[in-house]
Structure 1
Amino acid sequence: MDSLKAHWAYLLNCSQSLILDHGYWTSEGEKDPKDIVMVRLSSLLLKSLDQIGSCRALRICILADNFLTTIEALMACTHLVKLDLKGNQIIQLPDASYWSHLKELQLLYLHDNNISTWNNIKGLSGCLNLTALTLYDTPLSLKKNFRHCLVNSIWSLKALDNFVISDEEIIQNWSLPFQFKAMKQHFCVNLYPSTKLNSFETEMKAVYKIISEINRIQAIYSPTLIIQRWIRGHLIRKSLGLCSTKKHKASVKPFINHSSENEQEPSQSQKTKKEDTDDNHDLPKEKNTEIKRLHVNLNTLMQTIYPEVLLKIAETFDSQQDIEVPYNTPECRSLKSEVQISTFDQGTTKYWL
């Protein structure tokens, strides 16, 4: 015990001078903690974050490989986009009200910590825009149904532990073809790339690159997004008049001309017929041909896509009467089903998808 206290005496607090020494500003001039946009405090034997709350403009915070146990001081940094807490001594995370203040946070790294139970991290459900999360190399990641509980609790989450979340993980007991299977190679994404001492602009570009790659993978390998994209495109073309199903047919009976052969001016009945026919055929031939081609292409797409995927989605929609607000993406998570999820610590809990 005495040796532990002796080692603890060597640990540092996050002082203002330490922040100024490892902070980054977007403009030259007077160095003020409230204008810091990025701070690197990795491997500095930190045990607390007392003064970090003074960095109100902080967007990227790197605190990897320290001895931190609590992170409540970061609540004041409401503009955080990336938070790296890898390799610390964190056991319990703050509650949902804490994370609700971090409305811009998208990347959160918590791997290689001491988090062991679901109750330790359930507050993350209050982080409304969290896109990617890492929890590998923690006792919690070894639990059964670890991924299933996480992806159905944090609605905005798109990637977990270097794999983009598939539709198969969201909807319980839904078996998809190999192309859409969960945790396959094509769902892999590097959420924690090794970086050197980069500038703030380079770090922000890396953040946007990761998010862009996650969105690209989901757009290709999510059957829900694919079908919604086709339907949305069809509705847009229909609203523009390119997918009208009404056929323009002339309803005027054939006109018999009883006038003399030498008559040059058309009769009044002939003029009326011509006007009615022109109203019914106001579209040019090129547009009529394009409409037919679009219908053929749409029918071909609906016949050639995975029949079992369409059938499963149709059955899901037929069996559900209510559809709640979509989650996890603005487009995805639009199917509602009540599933039974075995939690890590107790019994069975109901989750609404």
Structure 2
Amino acid sequence: MGPQSSGKSTLLNHLFHTNFREMDASKGRPQTTEGIWIARCTGIEPFTIVMDLEGTDGRERGEDGTLFEKQSALFAIALSDIMLINMWCHDIGREHAANKPLLKIVFQVMLRLCSPRKTTLMFIIRDTKRTPIEILDLDLRKDINEIWDSVPKAEAHKHIQLSEFFNVEVVALSSYEHEEENFKKQVANLRQKFFQSIAPGGLAGDRRLVVPGSDFSLSAQNIWKDIKENKDLDLPSYRVMVANVRCEKIADEKYSSFAENQLVQPATKLMLKYIRSERLDEFKGTFNNALKEGQGFEVAARDCTMKSMRLFDEQCKDATSYQAISDYTKIRDKLSHDLDLHITEVRAAKLNELSTQYEVKIKL
């Protein structure tokens, strides 16, 4: 992620031996990266993929650019264990050039996920000159913490530190155009950090909520679909879906294999949450239809609630055979609370509608 024409593609090609399209300075500074490009990092183990994102200030998209840059930033943060943020040395301290608005969006989304993924944010400072890296590092970290502190937080997250969600790395690089040899040496040294990145102590050594490689395509497609349709940007729901798919694939395996698999406990909890979300959405539609058909409010509320809770219990039978009962109980209570809340909101809306109608009749 970074400004347009800031050398992102050039850096990625040198760092990961990819073949992303680079800018030709002799032809001006047109936009070279359009959309989101994905490639495998050559020669790096374990298997690693890299995304090259369209610049955050490209003029070619016009008014739609801001929307797309937000979408691509959310997509990247939802999928990535390590996020590289490319910026010019002289841009540190500038509001827009330093990606501050986008970082604020990233922080807001991560807070809404509620389960810290421990993403590594690596800031690549380009064309460093006289200012010592230690000073740049301090200034940049100060800016990042100020952005984090300015993000609205729920009471439960009010005192959560940035370090709970992110590891911050700051790297300085010389100018590619004027100090090419130094640039290449520095990038070669940086490349070494990406080998065995998920091992303890590596760049992504303490990552969390990992999606298995076999489900990456499904997860990426649905996350992008959700972002494009702007459905409240509830990204965790698709992690739930992926976990549910995996549970179905291994449902016939022996209980002992589940016990040995340390992904089972969190995957099952996610599956229960996904079932709760399904039942809540279905309830809203069923309840609304019942009222439209003329069914009494209290009768419709009672019958629809009983149906939703019964279906939830039936779908969760297999899950609770190996999942802690406390998780099932908490999620079931959450569903019951959400159903009651929706009924209360609909009742208030209906009463307000009736009150308005009577007021109109009285005036007549």
- Work out whether the TM-score is over 0.5: no
Larger radius of gyration: 1
Larger RCO of the pair (alpha carbons < 8 Å, separation 6+): 2
